[in-house]
Amino acid sequence: VRQQNSGGDSEDSEDFALNPEDVEPVASSALPVDLPHVPYEFTRLPPEESLKRAEEFYQLMNSRRTLRFFSDEPVPVEILHKIIHTAGTSPSGAHTEPWTFVLVSEKDLKQKIRDIVEEEERINYERRMSKQWTTDLKPLRTCWVKEYLTVAPYLLLVFKQQYSYTDDGKKKLHYYHDVSINLASGILLSAIHYAGLVTLTSTPLNCGPALRAMFNRPSYEKLTLLLPIGYPAKDATVPDLKRKPLSDILIEFH
Ligand code: IYR
């Protein structure tokens, strides 16, 4: 059978699909062929100002931490709307915008999510994760009990659309959906942090299908992140991790 690369990391089998045109009608182009191109509005900064901003942004981002202890204090929903709108500014393959964000604050739904996640995580920790994996995680003091899933005021589920459908029922191909969702997720984490909130980048193993079904998301959407979002608990602690210095992450050729 003919295989075509639909764009993306060649190591990720999800990015290799049968030529979809062989199976069902594909939208000729999601964007109009005569899409206008308009002048780009650009504000040029003096290099000193750029350096100052780069330094400030580093300081801001370097103060971001993954939190596992949340306060139940409410957060105005408008803040969450703006943060999610910001994530949606991410670049994406052929501007396909392959993301769906599901925001949950309803108590019973959060409890249901927690039940699903804890049921799977108990099996993950007890059987599915290797001895080496659970040993490597020990310093972070994680376990299968996920109190934050009911304590945090919001849970945000990030779904990657592997493809979608146009209004007239034609399949719309989503090139580079993996890198696109990951870029949007990075912007999302930055927006959460800049807004003064905290989160935990959880990626619950084996919970995707149940959580997708719970929110009636279609089969072509895949859960990539489950983020509790809110304020930290008063007595919250974080592991005393250090980040690599620049010299360990940068190799230069000038
Ligand atoms: N998903 C599990 C286990 C876990 C795995 C890694 I890799 C971490 O950095 C942290 C946790 C959990 O959320 O507990």
What pLDDT was estimated at residue 27? Answer: 79
What pLDDT was estimated at residue 152? Answer: 98
**Which atom of ligand 1 is nearest to 205's Cα?**
1
In the three-class reduction of DSSP (H, G, I as helix; E, B as strand; rest coil), residue 249 is classed as helix
Give the residue, by CA position, lying nearest to ligand 1 atom 11.
142
What pLDDT was estimated at residue 207? Answer: 97
Assembly ipTM: 0.91
**Which atom of ligand 1 is nearest to 202's Cα?**
13
Spacing, Cα 94 to ligand 1 middle (Å): 33
**Which atom of ligand 1 is nearest to 204's Cα?**
1
Give the residue, by CA position, lying nearest to ligand 1 atom 6.
137
pTM of the model: 0.92
Give the residue, by CA position, lying nearest to ligand 1 atom 7.
137
Distance CA 113, CA 149 (A): 7
How many other CB atoms sit within 10 Å of the CB of residue 68? 22
For the chain, 254 residues long, give each residue's pLDDT as a single digit of tens: 455 565 544 444 444 455 655 678 887 777 999 999 999 999 999 999 999 999 999 999 999 999 999 999 999 999 999 999 999 999 999 999 999 999 999 999 999 999 999 999 999 999 999 999 999 999 999 999 999 999 999 999 999 999 999 988 999 999 999 999 999 999 999 999 999 999 999 998 999 999 999 999 999 999 999 999 999 999 999 999 999 999 999 999 99
Spacing, Cα 177 to ligand 1 middle (Å): 23
Give the residue, by CA position, lying nearest to ligand 1 atom 13.
202
What pLDDT was estimated at residue 22? Answer: 63
**Which atom of ligand 1 is nearest to 133's Cα?**
7
Distance CA 101, CA 150 (A): 19
Give residues (CB < 6 A) around ligand 1: 121, 137, 140, 142, 202, 204-205
Spacing, Cα 171 to ligand 1 middle (Å): 35
What pLDDT was estimated at residue 82? Answer: 99
Query: What's the sign of the alpha-carbon dihedral 125, 130, 131, 136?
Result: negative
| Pocket mutation for ligand 1, best pick of 67, 136, 202, 238 (most atoms within 8 Å of C-beta) | 202
What pLDDT was estimated at residue 132? Answer: 96
Q: Which of 209, 189, 211 is nearest to 200 (CA)?
A: 189
Spacing, Cα 126 to ligand 1 middle (Å): 13
Judge contact between 174 and 164, C-beta under 8 A: yes
